[in-house]
Structure 1
């Protein structure tokens, strides 16, 4: 899986908002807090609003707020909002690819990859990250030295 800059920026932006509680977040402040190019952030904020993860209000008292509690927004929700499906094979969903001959079982590998990505990304909410209460299964996965290998 490749996490794009847009997905990374989107998650970090929503974490900033989750950490701020009910205070509105201004685009300039969000960009500065996470070292995100402001112009790029505007595109991210637009995607997050369209996905109903953010609400916004214009004006001097305006800004951005989470559209629902941080505990109800998973990392997967955010990535889907800016990138689309979590896993694809040549732009298609794994269940929609067909292979012939000895490659036929490959579809099962792609389905398993998606299932595992879902388990991790849907199993972690913004509130978990902000509270530094990452679920135990994440700690178990990252405790394996192979998780830190660059291969």
Structure 2
């Protein structure tokens, strides 16, 4: 799985907005978001636009304007952010896993692709932005992180 810069920046921006919400500092401008995580402002503007279109953030106009979370960080799954900026969690040649079809020895592949998507959902849809912000990953995710070879390249 490739986690794009777009997705990485979106999650980081959401974490910053969650912190601002917690600190009650009001809307955060794209400039502040970019500076806080050393992100390219123009690219981040497009990313935040996708988050707004998906209903994850709201914009506030005016001198103190910027962006705020559209709902509490605990109610926003990391998977929601992925989908907002990158589309479905898993696709095979542009198809949803369940829509793939193979013959012969590859006949079992759709089930494998569905299982891969299910694994991604298990982690990304059951972990909230608030969980990440607080460093409080769900137990099933912590178990994966703590497995002996989790941090090893293959």
Q: Give the structure-1-normalised TM-score.
A: 0.97
Cα root mean square deviation, aligned: 0.8
- 1:56-114 Cα distance to aligned partner (Å, 9 max, x none): 01220211000000000000000000011000001110000000001000111100000
Distance in 1, matches of 2:39 and 2:13, equals 9
Name stretches of at least 5 consecutive residues in structure 2 with no aligned partner: none
Distance in 2, matches of 1:86 and 1:103, equals 22
Map of 1:72-83 to 2, 5 A cutoff? 72-83=75-86
- Paired position in structure 1 for 2:44: 41
- Paired position in structure 2 for 1:6: 6
Q: Give the structure-2-normalised TM-score.
A: 0.96
How many pairs are equivalent?
A: 151
Map of 1:109-148 to 2, 5 A cutoff? 109-148=112-151
Distance in 2, matches of 1:35 and 1:72, equals 26
Map of 1:23-62 to 2, 5 A cutoff? 23-62=26-65
Name stretches of at least 5 consecutive residues in structure 1 with no aligned partner: none
Distance in 2, matches of 1:142 and 1:148, equals 8
Residue 144 of structure 1: how far off its partner (Å): 1.1
